[in-house]
Chain A
Amino acid sequence: MFSNYEFRLIITVVIIGIATGMGFVVKAQLIPDSFGTYGHYRADAIDEEVLRPIRHGTNASCLKCHPYEAAIHLKGRHQTISCEFCHGTYADHVNNGKKIGTLPVKKDTEITTLCLRCHNTEIKARSQAVIKTVAMPEHLESQKVKVTHTCNQCHHVHAPLKYINRAKQITGITESES
């Protein structure tokens, strides 16, 4: 029948077959349980992503505890701006209902830089329908204001036309071109 050699070769093939079979059994054990639920991936990864800590709140979360700012901000042109963009994320400030840190408030020329990020007319890509833009220092010069003034010396940062409109009311001066 089979010679000694042939027999050994057959044994070798059988051993390889068994090893491969065992390999597949081990493979099945090592694959994570939720793998394949929805497709070729670990379904648990979806839940893990859902549990990622949220860092930004929304303006509503900020304004709930800051009603003074809320009253001003929500009536002004800047009501669509996120508090967190200028001040930092909610998660750095509050955790589990408790304050864990203080968020920075911009000062002086930092404010001007921040304003010009959106309102600089030199960039020429901002439709007047979307946002009003100015050029510096022409804007200051045309308003007869010292060119070292920062934006917040005339404009309330949270409601930029608040003081402007009030000033117009008081003085009766109408808007000149900016």
Chain B
Amino acid sequence: MKIEQAPPQLDRRAFIKKVLTGSVTGSLLLIYPMGGGDALDMLQPSTIPDTPEQIPGIRGEEYDIHERKFAFIVDITRCIGCGSCCVADKREYNVPDGNYRTWVERYIKDFDDQVYVDCPNGGLDGYQSPRTDIDAPVRDTFFVPKLCNMCKEAPCVQVCPVGATFTTPDGFVLMDSDRCVGCGYCIQACPYSSRFLNPITHTAEKCTWCYHRVRKGLLPACVEVCPTGARKFGSLKDETSEVYKILKGPGVLSVLKESMGTWPALYYLGARLEVI
């Protein structure tokens, strides 16, 4: 197969021009069907081109929504603060600037147990330079990714006045953007600040653990791009999955703000005492 040299700019117009004028040899070679029919088929599990399933047991089967359980584990000891997850999430959902479905916080501790936390632009640019505004010598630094905790007793679901946010039988807390009136009650009620009001649609929004990907047997975008395996996701019906082994194993897992009684389904491995 011919090696494709991609020109350095994303230019749909130039591409179309080239095809029409037929002036670029090999431009026709850029178009080759990859199996699958029309656009709608692209969305059906059986014809997602070239993406083998990452969560076994979902594709090619009837999805019984009552029999499914998933787990998301964040391993703080492996997070390097690269921000790939934030970038991927923003791209997957076209999240408006200034709002974050997921973000990565940086915790710094000095020798007096004073904790400094920051989160420049939600971690979208990664952490490219150290903090310059701390006078005391730094003893410790670590990164904490945050996202929706998918609480089993979600306060956001409890307070939504119109049933626009809800817990599905398979444990995901999702949004119905057609019913949301934008009152903002769910945003107030979430103890983890996972929610925001989309300034374009004027409805509430939050991380959905990429439900649309999970249902196609793919990992959430942030898990997919994490280079160190700090984010882990899997089906609890699959006993060989990493999350199953961690959850059912002897390690210490924690959740955020346990005293709130929300029973999050998001677990942290290696979370430190300072993380709130």
Contact = CB atoms under 8 A, between A and B. Distances in A.
B239 interface: no
Contacts of B227: 78, 80-82, 85, 118
A67 B9 contact: no
Interface in B176-224: 176, 178-179, 208, 211-213, 215-216, 218-219, 221, 224
Contacts of A46: 65, 168, 174
A104 B9 contact: yes
B170 to A, nearest CB: 9
B60 interface: no
A53 B141 contact: no
B166 A41 contact: yes
A90 to B, nearest CB: 8
Given A52-B212, A54-B216, A117-B128, A105 B8 contact: yes
Contacts of A100: 12
A96 B33 CA distance: 8
Contacts of A103: 6, 10
A71 B36 CA distance: 26
Contacts of B178: 42, 45, 48
B229 interface: yes
Contact of B87 (A35, A58, A85, A125): A85
A97 B36 contact: yes
Nearest to B77: A127
Contacts of A48: 176, 178
Contacts of B35: 97
B96 interface: no
B208 A38 contact: no
Contact of A49 (B41, B50, B129, B211): B211
A25 interface: no
B130 A55 contact: no
A139 B93 CA distance: 38
B82 interface: yes
A96 B215 contact: no
Contact of A125 (B38, B141, B213): B141
B51 A35 contact: no
Interface string B27-41: 000111111101101
A54 B91 CA distance: 10
Nearest to A79: B227
Interface in A74-94: 78, 80-82, 84-85, 88-89, 92, 94
A18 interface: no
A54 B218 contact: yes
A41 B163 contact: yes
B80 A89 contact: no
B225 A56 contact: yes
B46 to A, nearest CB: 14
A101 B51 contact: no
B211 A98 contact: no
13 contacts: A41-B166, A46-B168, A49-B212, A56-B224, A58-B218, A58-B224, A89-B91, A96-B42, A98-B31, A104-B8, A113-B128, A118-B80, A125-B143
Interface of A: 35, 38-42, 45-46, 48-58, 60-61, 64-68, 78, 80-82, 84-85, 88-89, 92, 94-105, 107, 113, 116-118, 120, 122-127, 130-131
Give 10 closest A-B pairs by Cβ, nearest first: A41-B166, A45-B176, A97-B34, A82-B225, A125-B141, A117-B126, A64-B50, A52-B212, A61-B50, A41-B163
